[in-house]
Chains A and B, each alone.
Chain A
Amino acid sequence: MSDCCPGSKTMDFSDDEQTEDETGARQSQLKQWPIQLHLVSPQAPYFQEKDVLLAADCVPFTLADFHKDHLKGKSLAIACPKLDSDQDVYVDKIASLIDDSKINTLTVMIMQVPCCGGLAQIAKSGADKATRKIPVKQIVVGVEGGQVLSEEWL
């Protein structure tokens, strides 16, 4: 199994020690619907002049505090660069978010697996295609342990 694709390689973390219990309900930081990049309209009101988070599908399941630490205060779009079709549309939608909805920043969150780099490339291509320029940040999330491995402005 060691040579298989890291994006689909089977891994089991169930034996990892849990350090603390959590009690009480958390508040969702999601302020919109829909969220899938094919389904959202880039001109939707919830994108206007906002900070936008483009997350790979697996990211929110990996980070326990995704809502609190990353989604809070941002509008969301999700996509999978490995499985989704018609990804040219994604590039155009990101360009439209920047030019038409005049979003303030774009943060793309991807998993550390190689195939996820495609989403960062889509974000960059969309930003390059747009006439307006905005800061674009990339956050890479580790598969095991759900930690942020790197965070950088591109």
Chain B
Amino acid sequence: MENILNKDIRAVIDQCPEVGRILEEYNIGCAPCSVGSCLVSDVVGVHGLDPQTEATLMYKMEKALYPDRDIPEPKVDMSKVVPKEINYSPAVKNLVDEHVWIKRLLALIPTITDFVEKSETVDKDLVMSCIDFIRGYADKFHHMKEEDILFKYVDEKSEIIKVMYDDHITGRNHVKNVVEGAESGNKAQIKEHLHGYRDLLTQHIKKEDEILYPWIERQMSDNQIGELFQRCSAADASVGEELPKKYEKFIIELEEKFAKEN
């Protein structure tokens, strides 16, 4: 099993698709991941499974990969495995709460692109106000706290962090394309890249809330948790409390606008 632990998960799933299905069974969604460069050992470790569940998962994967091997089955009573509720520290809880505002914009994107498609001309102000939210709130206010503060507490060269950085860069490319579409009045370009951003961020936020943030916090001491809170509070204070309020108000008004139109 040792050599499998050091392989890319994508290579292992390509070799044996059953491994992807087994991971799904444990709510580890590696099969649809577009990157798939995480090592198997990181994939298993990052989910913080209890030792018995982890042993069973490893047994099933090994059995799928090497059906002819005589592998002893770990004795586990799965009925006694209680799913853990995620308890975030205050600074990370704030990041999770910020995700909720971003997800509210993502939920509106299909309605917005329908509206753009049906309009005679592109409502550039509407599109650019969404872009302003993405750039000002999601990227500058939120992602910068992750990149400048939170991710510094773990090895930034680890695959999972690289995937997060890649997602941020891909997201910025979608935004650039939406802006180009708004400038040129290209409705198809706006739709393609707003939907691309929506799909990307939906998965990105899920990975962060359920896997990355708990993984990072498990590695942090109480002293670092306190320091993280003060650094994030200082970052929030540096932009002022009006900035997040402005963007939260924007989301509420956008929801009201489209609720009325429908």
Q: Is A134 in contact with B87, judged by CB distance below 8 angstroms?
A: no
Q: Is B225 an interface residue (CB 8 A)?
A: yes
CB distance from A98 to the nearest CB of B (A): 11
Q: Is A107 in contact with B222, judged by CB distance below 8 angstroms?
A: yes
With A153-B88, A153-B90 as known contacts, state yes or no: A134 contacts B223, CB within 8 Å: no
What residue in chain B is nearest A154 (Cβ atoms)? B90
CB distance from A115 to the nearest CB of B (A): 24
What residue in chain B is nearest A103 (Cβ atoms)? B226
Chain A residues with CB under 8 Å of B222's CB are 51, 73-74, 104-105, 107, 135, 137
Chain B residues with CB under 8 Å of A105's CB are 222-223, 225-226, 229
Q: Is B170 an interface residue (CB 8 A)?
A: no
Q: Is B227 an interface residue (CB 8 A)?
A: yes
Contact of B229 among A74, A135, A151 (CB under 8 A): A135
What residue in chain A is nearest B228 (Cβ atoms)? A135
Chain B residues with CB under 8 Å of A15's CB are none
Q: Is A153 in contact with B223, judged by CB distance below 8 angstroms?
A: no
What residue in chain A is nearest B87 (Cβ atoms)? A152
Give chain B's interface secondary structure class.
Answer: helix
Chain B residues with CB under 8 Å of A67's CB are none
Q: Is B91 an interface residue (CB 8 A)?
A: yes
Q: Is A104 in contact with B223, judged by CB distance below 8 angstroms?
A: yes
CB distance from B85 to the nearest CB of A (A): 9
Q: Is B233 an interface residue (CB 8 A)?
A: yes
Q: Is B233 in contact with A135, judged by CB distance below 8 angstroms?
A: no
Chain B residues with CB under 8 Å of A107's CB are 222
Q: Interface size class for chain B?
A: 10 to 19
CB distance from B247 to the nearest CB of A (A): 22
CB distance from B229 to the nearest CB of A (A): 5
CA gap between A82 and B225 in the complex, in Å: 30
How many residues of A are in contact with the other chain, CB < 8 A? 13
Q: Is B225 in contact with A135, judged by CB distance below 8 angstroms?
A: yes
In the complex, per-residue mask of B196-225: 1 if CB is within 8 Å of any chain A CB, else 0: 000000000000000000000000011101
CA gap between A73 and B89 in the complex, in Å: 19
CA gap between A152 and B233 in the complex, in Å: 20
Chain A residues with CB under 8 Å of B229's CB are 105, 133-135
In the complex, per-residue mask of A10-37: 1 if CB is within 8 Å of any chain B CB, else 0: 0000000000000000000000000000
Contact of A51 among B87, B223, B230 (CB under 8 A): B223
In the complex, per-residue mask of A33-66: 1 if CB is within 8 Å of any chain B CB, else 0: 0000000000000000001000000000000000
Q: Is B226 in contact with A51, judged by CB distance below 8 angstroms?
A: yes
Q: Is B104 an interface residue (CB 8 A)?
A: no
What residue in chain A is nearest B91 (Cβ atoms)? A135
CA gap between A134 and B226 in the complex, in Å: 7
CB distance from B184 to the nearest CB of A (A): 47
Q: Is B93 an interface residue (CB 8 A)?
A: yes
CA gap between A47 and B223 in the complex, in Å: 13
Chain A residues with CB under 8 Å of B226's CB are 51, 104-105, 134-135
Interface contacts beyond A133-B90, A134-B226, A153-B89: sample of 14 additional A-B pairs, CB < 8 Å, sorted by A: A51-B223, A51-B226, A73-B222, A74-B222, A104-B222, A104-B223, A104-B227, A105-B222, A107-B222, A133-B233, A134-B230, A135-B226, A151-B87, A153-B88
